[in-house]
Amino acid sequence: MTAETKPSAGIPVFVASVCLAIVVIVSAVSLSGGYGAIPPVSPPAQCPCMAATLSVPAAAPVVPASDPLAAAQGVSGPALPEQLASADLELRQPPATDLFPYTARNFSRGAEAAIAWWMSPGFMDNTSEFRRYERSTAEQMAAYPEEHRIFFAFIQDGLDEAEGQSVLKSDVILFRGIGPGLAAAVLDNAEYREPAFASTSYDITLSLDDFTSRSTDGYRNVIVLERKTGDHALYINEDEREFLLPRKTSWHVVKAVNVENLTVKADFSLHNRTARDAAFDHVRLIYVKEVKYP
């Protein structure tokens, strides 16, 4: 096992604390009773499927650059980015029917608890370890303490259940910021498979602000992916405009564009801003489409 996947000695205490936190969160929820689209960057995308895709909202990642790489599997790569001196990206907030709070979705207590854990303070370290576990081999998983495996199985089952009941009412474009290593793997292979749940956001500025680092060529990498009406995507919260995608999805790179100067315009206030527009330099947009195998 690598240092990234090896569990720490303090995990049982962590699991016990998290389990207690889940009980408190779920109890509080029980006692209480209880949004967009983007046209392709100019010039218009040459690929017909992505031209249709970019007429919805935008989103960003919750996956830090330090996360382990998703398993990259060569298909038809490499994907060579186009070059643009400038481009405008227009975002529209998804309709309220797709931004429905999870506590009002009639999920089971187990599903609500799993989502509450995902959202809990300090979640990033916890969910990053959970994703490492999901990306591990069977042998690596077996090396985790039994209580850790039991807890992660509980979280996985709850999120699977919620994903299965979460169907989009409209087309949505989502964004996910990624680090240089994963970006290189995706571009080199033109397809990648993600064993873990993938965090995305309809606000690209969240991705660019918090979840990207520059590659050696100076570009920050953002995956742009399409979800159609009827596809599964679990809305998490408005703090990060986050949608969680089902685990074990596969993506094919349609095109990549290196934009020297990107202007973002939205019909909502952008992340950590009062304005509805923002500018970024050297952004690599990697457009992907889900591949569904028999």
What's residue 109's pLDDT? 96
What's residue 192's pLDDT? 81
Angle between helices 109-119 and 11-32 (to 10 degrees): 120
Q: Give 232's strand partners.
A: 167
CB 225 within 8 A of CB 289: yes
Q: Pick the closest to residue 267 from 36, 100, 39, 52 (CA basis).
A: 36
Alpha helices in the chain (DSSP H): 11-32, 48-53, 109-119, 123-134, 138-142, 146-164, 180-189, 204-210
Strands 82-91 vs 249-266: parallel, antiparallel or unpaired: parallel
* pLDDT per residue as tens digits for the range 150-173: 999 999 999 999 999 999 999 999
Q: Pick the closest to residue 79 from 217, 256, 251, 223 (CA basis).
A: 256
User: Which of the 8 DSSP states describes residue 127?
Assistant: H
* pLDDT per residue as tens digits for the range 117-135: 998 866 667 888 999 999 9
Q: How far apart are the first and last CA of the chain?
A: 32
Angle between helices 146-164 and 109-119 (to 10 degrees): 110
Q: Pick the closest to residue 207 from 36, 58, 35, 61 (CA basis).
A: 61
CB 243 within 8 A of CB 251: no
In total, the chain counts a number of residues equal to 294
Residue type, 78: P
Structural domains in the chain plus CATH codes: 1-34+106-165 (no CATH), 35-98+167-294 (3.90.176)
- pLDDT tens, the chain, 294 aa long: 333 333 343 444 444 444 444 444 444 434 344 433 333 444 434 433 332 223 223 333 323 333 333 333 334 558 889 999 999 999 999 999 999 999 999 999 999 999 999 988 666 678 889 999 999 999 999 999 999 999 999 999 999 999 999 999 999 999 999 999 989 988 988 878 899 999 999 999 999 998 888 999 999 999 999 899 999 999 999 988 999 999 999 989 999 999 999 999 999 999 989 999 999 999 999 999 998 876
What's residue 121's pLDDT? 65
Write down the residue that tokens 């935008």 correspond to.
58
Q: Pick the closest to residue 186 from 178, 175, 198 (CA basis).
A: 178
Whole-number Å distance between alpha carbons of 289 and 190: 11
